[in-house]
Amino acid sequence: MKKFRWIDLALVPFGLCVLFLLLLGKLLGLTYKQISVVFNLWVQGAVLALSGLAPFGIVVYKMTESFSTGWLVLSFILALYGTAYVFAFIIMVQHYRLPFDDAFNRCVWDLQKVAQKWHTTYQMVNLIIFVVLFLLLLSLNIAGGYLLLRYPAMLW
C-alpha cells in the first residue's frame, strides 16, 4: 500500500479544477488546452489587471468630489500599483503567446520548474498560483476598493 502524503490532498481540488475547465471548454467548444490558456491565463490575468486598476479609478472619482493632496498622493501610488498589474499581464500574455498548444506547454513546463524548486508537485503549484494566489490578490484589490469607497474620510 502506498504511504499517505499530505501533498496528495492537492489532487482532489486540482481534479475538480480540471473537471471545471473540461466542462467549460465543452460548453464553449474549446479543447482542454485552449480553455486552460483562455481561462487561467487570459481571463484570470485580465480580471487581476482590472481589479488592480480599480482602486486608482475610485481615488480619481473621489478626487472629483473633493480634491486634496492626500488623494493626489494616493492616486499616484495606486496608479503605480495598477500599472504593475497591467504590465505583469502584458508580460504574461507575451510569454504565453499563441498557438494554444505552445502557450499551454510553456505554462506546464514553467509550473513544473517551480514545483521542482519548491520541492512539491505540479498540481500543488498550479493550485497555489491559479486558485489561492488569484483569489488572494483579487480579494485584496476588492477589499482595498471597498475601503476607499466606504471609509474615504478616515483615509484622508
User: Cα–Cα distance between 95 and 97 in angstroms, integer?
Assistant: 6
- b vs e for 108-134, b when ≥16 Cβ sit within 10 Å of the residue's Cβ? eeebeebbeeeeebbbbbbbbbbbeeb
48: its cell numbers: 487581476
Tens place of pLDDT per residue across the chain (156 aa): 667 666 666 788 899 999 999 999 999 999 999 999 999 999 999 999 999 999 999 999 888 888 888 889 999 999 999 999 999 999 999 999 999 999 999 999 999 999 999 999 999 999 999 999 999 999 999 999 999 888 876 655
Asked if residues 55 and 84 have their Cβ atoms less than 8 Å apart, the reply is no
Which residues lie below 8 Å from residue 3, measured CB to CB, with a gap of 6+? none
Domain ranges of the chain: 30-155
In this structure, the dihedral spanned by the alpha carbons of residues 56, 57, 60 and 61, taken in order and rounded to 10 degrees, is -140
Return the sign of the alpha-carbon dihedral for residues 72, 73, 76, 82.
negative
DSSP state of 29: T
pTM of the model: 0.86
74-103 b/e (C-beta count within 10 Å ≥ 16 → b)? bbeebbeebeebbeebeebbeebeeebeeb
From the list 4, 39, 43, the residue with the least C-alpha distance to 18 is 39
